[in-house]
Amino acid sequence: MTTRKSTVRRTGALAVVAVAVLAAVAGCGSGGGSGAKSISFIAGKTGDPFYITMKCGAGAEAKKLGYSFSATGSADWSVPEQVSSVDSVTANHPGGVLIAPVDPNSLAAPIKTMEHNGAKVAIVDTTLTDGSIGVTHISSDNQQGGQQAADTMGQLIDGQGEVVVLTPDLTTTTTNARIAGFKTELAAKYPGIRIDDVRQVGDTAQGAASAVGDELAAHPGLVGVFTANSQTGEGVGTGLKDAGRQGKVKVVSFDAGPQQVQALQNGEVDALISQDPYGIGQQAVDQLNDALTGKPVTVTLKTDLASITRDNLNDPAIARFRYRTDCNS
């Protein structure tokens, strides 16, 4: 009788160990990103330093909390490609997902399907029209960032003159909020500044460079350019240099990727309004962890911004606002 009981105990113990081993393997697989102890990140644009930095923050926090982590997305700002990424991640059944939707409406149904399949979803950076999707929504206060850009521009041109705004499109929620903040602040505090044009140039530096020449031809009195994201910011210096107006037209650009920081140092750009993508990634994973462990989740979080100029570029307090091209830099 004693022998039989000990055999039962050993058998039960072996079964528990086997289950534990299988669970550990499922949770720690580096490539699959599946299981309750896994978190996946779907970037808006994989090669963008902003999203690379966000991935670094999310990956570091996931590792600290004991989650396996994977990242995906497309090289282009593309609805069909991101939908494909969402479908692929959904099929892997991760515990949590942070995603920057490239369109406020087209991504709603695929992300809902992801939620219905059991994933907790954090909407980061950009937003969806349907605010009920996602357990948390984390981004910069983009309208405030646009206001900071307006104040910086106002100081650079002494509150007087003609300016233009360059934006990749008029559908992305983040850039629209920045433009709205820029317009509101100029109207309220700088009546001597006039916006001549808000121009869609596509999400490329080449598009912005070409547009600068067109705007200078159409508005010879132009004294300032506000660019609403990193790609448009990267092209402005080239356009002004080609037109022989570098240094004469002041440039305030959103984001602080390595190329933009270099442009600031070279005098091609006069100020950068920078976000904290590393912090967005960290906080998204923290909120997903709370959701997955039954703790209260903060539905909306806004992260800090900074105005970077040549004067404060090397201030240690500014370091976290400079974007990365890899997670080791």
Convert the pLDDT of each residue in 286-306 to its tens digit. Answer: 999 999 999 999 999 999 999
Q: Domain 34-140+276-303: which CATH class?
A: alpha beta
What H or E segment, with its residue span, contains residue 273?
strand 271-274
- Cα–chain-centroid distance for residue 158? 32
Among 319, 323, 328, CA closest to 51: 323
Tens of pLDDT, residues 159-204: 999 999 999 999 899 999 999 999 999 999 999 999 999 999 998 8
Please report, for residues 19, 20, 44, 73, 76, the alpha-carbon distance to residue 48 in angstroms, rounded to integers and kept in the order given. Answer: 41, 39, 8, 11, 9
The number of angstroms, rounded, from the C-alpha of 181 to the middle of its chain's C-alpha atoms is 18
* CA 175 – CA 113 distance, rounded (Å): 27
Statement: residue 24 has pLDDT above 70: no
* Residue 234 pLDDT grade (very low, low, confident, very high; cuts 50, 70, 90): confident
Nearest-angstrom CA–CA distance, 191 and 219: 19
Instruction: Give me the residue spans of the domains in the chain.
Output: 34-140+276-303, 142-274
Band the pLDDT of 33: cuts 50, 70, 90.
low
Residue 6 CA to residue 208 CA, distance in Å, equals 76
Residues in the chain, total: 329
Domains 34-140+276-303 and 142-274 agree in fold:
yes
How sure is the predictor about 23, in pLDDT bands with cuts at 50, 70 and 90?
Answer: very low
Number of neighbours of residue 13 by Cβ within 10 angstroms: 10
Phi and psi, residue 196, nearest 5°: -80, -35
**CATH level 3 topology of 142-274:** Rossmann fold (3.40.50)
Residue 123 pairs in a beta bridge with: 99, 137
State the first-to-last Cα distance of the chain, in angstroms, to the nearest integer: 65
Binned at pLDDT 50, 70 and 90, residue 58 comes out as very high
Q: How confident is the model at residue 256 (pLDDT cuts 50, 70, 90)?
A: very high
Residue 16 has pLDDT above 70, yes or no: no
CB 42 within 8 A of CB 98: yes
Model pLDDT, residue 156: 96
At 165, give phi and psi (nearest 5°): -115, 130
For residues 86 and 72, give the distance between their C-alpha atoms in angstroms, rounded to a whole number.
Answer: 9
Query: What confidence score (pLDDT) does residue 329 get?
Result: 73
Residue 30: pLDDT band (50, 70, 90) is very low
